[in-house]
Structure 1
């Protein structure tokens, strides 16, 4: 693909591609898929993507699959935390048991060209098969594969991808069916307790992620970065975006917000997570949240929620349904 076709797509800047917390927008993924299928059949694109997407390329999601006690438990975790690699507003991974069989389905509701959508679903299933086989330490072969795609003229690439000729097209849903016994066999490389740690990490990643949709999202991603580096100043954020502080303030005004409001919202979210998910003292939360002392933190929490930090902590985290965890267990 010529670079000018994709270089300016939202979310493809090096600082965003290299940051697990920046969520590349679905519109960019769709455009990349559509551009690619202009140069190669969708069947070959799916195989090429799967071969290049080796274990570890998809971060914590890969290890959720490969580190569980069984491949089935791993793919169930992967379905639960699919948001770490996909846009759950358009895509989903479902796992269901039916007697002695397990069906893994990829649902894709994104509005994209037929070839691009077919490639994405075939790649998604092929990537799952790779990781399941890695977990089992042997090549797993589905009993059958169904794809919600028109029958292509040739599909030898898909036979290579799935390791079987039992592939049906024009199905309602793209899926793979396995013998349950294949996915319930013990994972030779499983490490007891590791799955719980990985699930926690996936939750934290999703809670802290920044979806990139427009310029304001790019700014917020930059603000998170400078905040984490301990330099949440207007000048630092402007340098990260390669604009002057004055230009940055003007762009924020154009988007109906201000530097003060954006910094306040970031600190509010950060402080709330610290109170709900750690056992740090109020003084420590104030220091880590960028406040001079506990009194300043109390005033801020009062302004946000009309209560005290202690009362907010005791109320629990409504998005997770659990109280604080020990700070020694934070990643």
Structure 2
């Protein structure tokens, strides 16, 4: 493999969701990343249980097949872990710790794929099922192909962590499934070189470009054409059928949850009754409650999330009195708002106003 950085036409890519979005409270993400974050912390003698509890989660919940978490919950746990462990390179460590089996059905599909290129295409296509907190696409480049990663929500301070976890886990899975000697052709990241920048070169074993126009992991054609030792057409066909069903179900659940959140957000300070929401969707209240339970949430929890998002925005970007904010959120008075803010954020409204804007806000 050449040590030269390949000549690739890099062009800036638009970041997804460059504004505060109430949907980041939707519990639609599998807890894969948080499972391995918790595991790495435990291996270092640190218990993330309290951090999970503050986000409304638990270690047991992370191991439930049906469990889904919101972007907000994931971000909160990651932020707490970075602060408590004091390791800015934690994303690299969490990614390196993973194996193909960590990705469940998607991991099995990767193993059963004919070539590395086919495996990468499958991973990008079904990345949502793996609990990714970034979005991906794959595109050809001279001499190979690249996976590009983009933020799902606005310029988060967690972007570096998420990117490092993502790129290092992809490389870890390939080394696990194909060969320990695997190395990408090059790594391009938009952030500046961190103090631990040497760890990139040691782990990825390829040229790394910091301050690039976009975030991409580049693969050379010889590696992409490598046959995977576990390739099996019959198993792959079974896995693809299951993944297709899972993705369809996941989209239906996400559409339901996000649709309800948007409806609630548009109607604040009035909260539409559940009966009205069910009728608008052509189902009974009981059916809607059951559908939400299958998504791992309740209507009351969605209302709480929408209010949380709006409260954070109003407290950190507006100079309104508390009674006015309470009225905008549909609370009876400022005292009720104070209690809710303390429950949501672990701090008072006045402390919220002294804080920096939230990571997901633009």
TM over 0.5: yes
TM-score bin (small chain): 0.5 to 0.7
What is the rounded CA distance, in whole Å, between the counterparts of 2:257 and 2:199 in structure 1? Answer: 34
1:110 lines up with 2:156 in the alignment: no
Question: 1:96–1:102: 8 Å Cα contact kept in structure 2?
Answer: yes
**Which of 200, 205, 209 pairs up with 1:163?**
205
Aligned residue in 2 for 1:9: 55
Question: 1:148–1:172: 8 Å Cα contact kept in structure 2?
Answer: yes
TM-score by length of 1: 0.59
- Alpha-carbon distance, 1:152 to partner: 0.9
1:91 lines up with 2:146 in the alignment: no
Based on CA coordinates, which of the two structures has the bigger radius of gyration?
Answer: 1
1:26 lines up with 2:26 in the alignment: no
3-state DSSP of counterpart to 1:139: coil
Unaligned regions of 5+ residues in structure 1, if any? 218-251, 270-331
1:64 lines up with 2:109 in the alignment: yes
What is the rounded CA distance, in whole Å, between the counterparts of 1:134 and 1:144 in structure 2? Answer: 19
Number of matched pairs: 228
1:142 lines up with 2:211 in the alignment: no
- Alpha-carbon distance, 1:267 to partner: 8.3
- Alpha-carbon distance, 1:188 to partner: 1.4
Question: 2:144–2:224: 8 Å Cα contact kept in structure 1?
Answer: no
Compared CA separation, residues 40 and 113, structure 1 to 2 (3 A): farther
**Which of 219, 223, 238 pairs up with 1:197?**
238
Aligned residue in 1 for 2:337: none
Question: 2:49–2:59: 8 Å Cα contact kept in structure 1?
Answer: no
Question: 2:109–2:240: 8 Å Cα contact kept in structure 1?
Answer: yes
TM-score by length of 2: 0.55
Question: 1:93–1:105: 8 Å Cα contact kept in structure 2?
Answer: yes
- Alpha-carbon distance, 1:95 to partner: 1.6
RMSD: 3.3
Larger relative contact order (CA 8 Å, sep ≥ 6): 2
Compared CA separation, residues 266 and 36, structure 1 to 2 (3 A): closer
For residues 32-61 of structure 1, give each alpha carbon's deviation from its aligned partner in whole angstroms, at most 9, with x where no partner exists: 22222223343x212220233222122112
What is the rounded CA distance, in whole Å, between the counterparts of 1:134 and 1:52 in structure 2? Answer: 11
3-state DSSP of counterpart to 2:53: coil
